[in-house]
Structure 1
Amino acid sequence: MLKGFREFIRRGNVVDLAVGVVIGAAFTGLVTQFGNSFLKPLIQVLTGGEKVGGRFEIRGAIFDYGAFITALIVFALTAAALYFVVVAPMNRLNELRRRGQEPEPAAPSEEVVLLTEIRDALRDKAGHRRF
């Protein structure tokens, strides 16, 4: 069990996961603040001002539909950003891999080709001596 855990840590997945969680939390905080700073006041203005905007009351219970609309928009913005920044590029990369359209490796340099030819010539020459 510990061996598997050590291998998991050594592969670097833990670091990638930690970076993803931290960036995700920071991005969520950013989008949430955008919703609270801009969207919620806009909803309040459009629905009747600061005191009554985005909420109504029935028998003393307050229904804050403005906060719900803000959270809904923040969720949509977060989902869209994650889709276009993470999911779509990964899908495109996977599609290219399935088609076999990954970039070709660079051709060997002239020096490598020449050294390979010399090696092969020496190997052939040495082979003829033995027989």
Structure 2
Amino acid sequence: MANKTLEGLKDFLLRGNLIELAVAVIMGTTFGAVVTAFTDLLLDIIGKFFGTPNFSQVAVGGVNLGAFLSALFTFLLTGIVIYFFVITPFNRLSDLTKKKDEAPAPPVATSEDLLAEIRDLLKAQADKQS
């Protein structure tokens, strides 16, 4: 019983999909760090433009909106970065591979075409015999 369970666990762990998922999680984590650094860079640029290098200090009427604004800008910038640097290139690459894969298929011979070919072969064979 234990050997069968361990064998099933081994098969599950060594399945290709699990390995690919693990690689995707690791790549996603490291890509998240890159996106976070880029977002921080853009937030610093935006902060210098408005004269406030850190949005966490922004308050309106005594209400501190800075944390919300920082989170909102981070969310929006992360979405923009992912869209333009991941989704758009992936879609372009996908379109290119689809165009290559969608090469025109050779025309399928209809029964009339096959019958005409048989007729021509029989005629050629009859001409050779005569």
TM-score, structure 1 normalization = 0.54
Instruction: Give the partner amino acid of 1:61.
Output: V
Deviation at 1:57, TM superposition (A): 2.4
Instruction: Give the partner amino acid of 2:25.
Output: V
After superposition, the Cα gap between the structure-2 partners of 1:55 and 1:26, relative to the gap in structure 1 and judged at 3 Å, is same
Which residue of structure 1 lines up, in the alignment, with residue 92 of structure 2?
Answer: 88
Identity %: 22
**8 Å CA contact 1:44, 1:66 repeated in 2:** no
TM-score, structure 2 normalization = 0.55
Q: How many residues align?
A: 97
Choose the corresponding residue for 2:52, options 49, 54, 60.
49
Query: When you count helix as a share of all residues, which structure comes out higher?
Result: 2
Deviation at 1:92, TM superposition (A): 2.8
Instruction: Give the partner amino acid of 1:32.
Output: T
- Alignment partner of 1:32 is 2:26: no
Deviation at 1:8, TM superposition (A): 6.0
Question: For residues 11 and 94 of structure 1, what CA distance do their matches in structure 2 show?
Answer: 28
After superposition, the Cα gap between the structure-2 partners of 1:75 and 1:18, relative to the gap in structure 1 and judged at 3 Å, is same
After superposition, the Cα gap between the structure-2 partners of 1:53 and 1:22, relative to the gap in structure 1 and judged at 3 Å, is closer
The structure having more radius of gyration, on CA atoms, is 2
**8 Å CA contact 2:56, 2:65 repeated in 1:** no
Deviation at 1:27, TM superposition (A): 0.7
After superposition, the Cα gap between the structure-2 partners of 1:74 and 1:62, relative to the gap in structure 1 and judged at 3 Å, is same
Choose the corresponding residue for 1:69, options 48, 73, 79.
73
Which residue of structure 2 lines up, in the alignment, with residue 120 of structure 1?
Answer: none
The alignment yields a C-alpha RMSD, in angstroms, of: 3.3
Gaps of 5+ in 2: 105-130
After superposition, the Cα gap between the structure-2 partners of 1:21 and 1:53, relative to the gap in structure 1 and judged at 3 Å, is closer
Instruction: Give the partner amino acid of 2:63.
Output: A
| Residues 37-64 of structure 1: per-residue CA shift (max 9 Å, x gap) | x212212111133377883323x32112
Instruction: Give the partner amino acid of 2:22.
Output: A
